[in-house]
Amino acid sequence: MTTPPPPYGTYAPVPPMSPADEKLWATLSHVSGIFFSLVGPLVIYLVVKDRGPFVRAHAASALNLQLTLLIGYLVCIPLAFVFIGLLLLPAVAIFGLIVAILGAVKANSGQWYHPPLTIRFVS
């Protein structure tokens, strides 16, 4: 006889990641924000958030940064009609690039990091 399948909605516990894998995924969460904006950190947060506290914190930080940058871009759009937004838009983009690179470097070296000037939407 075979063992019946588990009831719908129950899954096997997810094993924790090794420290090297946690550093890799934490670094990728910040780098994916540079290339894929909000989608990259969101996917990483949803997929690997339960595999370790380090990767969860960095994926949440990268996601919070991208959400804050999205708000900054949305504020710059109406301000572009007054020409202030045309000056602020590159500043927001450069800020996002620098902070994401700093986050990736900190994650790769195994340090905890919370980006400056970001709103905590996800913890």
Read off the pLDDT of residues 50-86 as tens digits, 9 standing for 90 and up.
Answer: 999 999 999 999 999 999 999 999 999 999 999 999 9
Global pTM reads 0.88
Q: What is the mean pLDDT of residues 14-43?
A: 95
Q: Residue 12 contacts by C-beta under 8 Å, 6 or more apart in sequence?
A: none
Domain residue ranges of the chain, discontinuous segments joined by +:
19-108
Q: What is the mean pLDDT of residues 1-27?
A: 83
44-69 exposure pattern, b = at least 16 Cβ within 10 A, e = fewer? bbeebbebbebbbbbbbbbbbbbbbb
Residue 50 φ/ψ, nearest 5 degrees = -95, 5
pLDDT for 13 equals 76
Tokens of 96: 């996002």
pLDDT for 81 equals 93
